[in-house]
Amino acid sequence: MTVIRLVTFDALHTLVTPRLPIYVQYSQTFAPYLGVLEPGLLKQSFKVALSQVQKENPTYQGNSGAEGWWSEVIKRTAIGAGANQQAVDSSLPQIVPSLMERFSSRQGYKLFHDSLPVLRRLHHMNIRTALISNTDTRMFSVLKDLEIAPYLGSILLSEAVGIEKPSAEIFLPMEMQDSVHVGDELESDYRGARAAGMHALLLRRAGPEGDGERKEEGENLQGVQVVNDLWGVVKWVERQTD
């Protein structure tokens, strides 16, 4: 019998989600400076820019920190979607702070319907909860603004600790044998936690890509423990003590 004493969660697409798709929020911010960019191009350009910068500078490295890191993502996103490069360069000093502020609060993010009820339920069960996320430190203010920070005993963000999932080091502060990690990314969350010696659950919310369900190209879920919402986490924890 396994007694679970701690549940750790990923942040984005697990507890919180963009209030509107990110490319829509970018489009709204770009429009006064760059005009209206084609949504499909903007969506694809953001994915490409984010992936490139993540590979070039993991954990928000560099002298300019998270703001400089995101400035590069924003610049590449706009140019990749067809914006005039000169216009992008001249408007970045206005666009970047606006988007950084937007994604620091409930203006940019919202909770999933089950996030707060499940955190409350786990606390009622005397199970501690924490967060491990590959995000910059603005997530602290997001969690506070969404009023769930008090339910998270520890909050480990990759920018703050200088380590990213799936590295085992970011999971090491946790009590491995008595804990389970929950997240939506197969490599970073599920396999990273398992390699560190934790139990793990892969979250696969129902819904179209971008609104909930997240699938990675070529993923193999054979043998992977999957839950479809956070209530599935509660049920899994309860089964461990039956």
**Residue 36 gets which letter from DSSP?**
P
pLDDT band at 207 (very low <50, low <70, confident <90, very high): confident
Residue 218 has pLDDT above 80, yes or no: no
Among all chains, which residue has been given the structure tokens 């990273």?
Answer: 192
Rounded-to-integer distance, Cα 43 and Cα 21, Å: 9
**What is the DSSP track for 99-128?**
HHHHTTSTTTEEE-TTHHHHHHHHHHTT-E
Domains in the chain: boundaries? 6-18+108-240, 22-102
Q: pLDDT digits over 35-87, tens only?
A: 999 999 999 999 999 999 998 888 787 657 899 999 999 999 999 999 999 99
Fold agreement between 6-18+108-240 and 22-102: no
Count how many residues are written for the chain.
Answer: 242
Q: What is the pLDDT of residues 108-141, one digit of tens each?
A: 999 999 999 999 999 999 999 999 999 999 999 9
Cβ neighbours around 194 below 10 Å, total: 17
Position 237 confidence tier, pLDDT thresholds 50, 70, 90: very high
Which CATH number does 6-18+108-240 carry? 3.40.50.1000
Is a pLDDT exceeding 60 seen at residue 144? yes
pLDDT mean over 84-113: 96
Higher pLDDT, 122 or 221: 122
User: Domain 22-102 falls in which CATH fold?
Assistant: DNA polymerase; domain 1 (1.10.150)
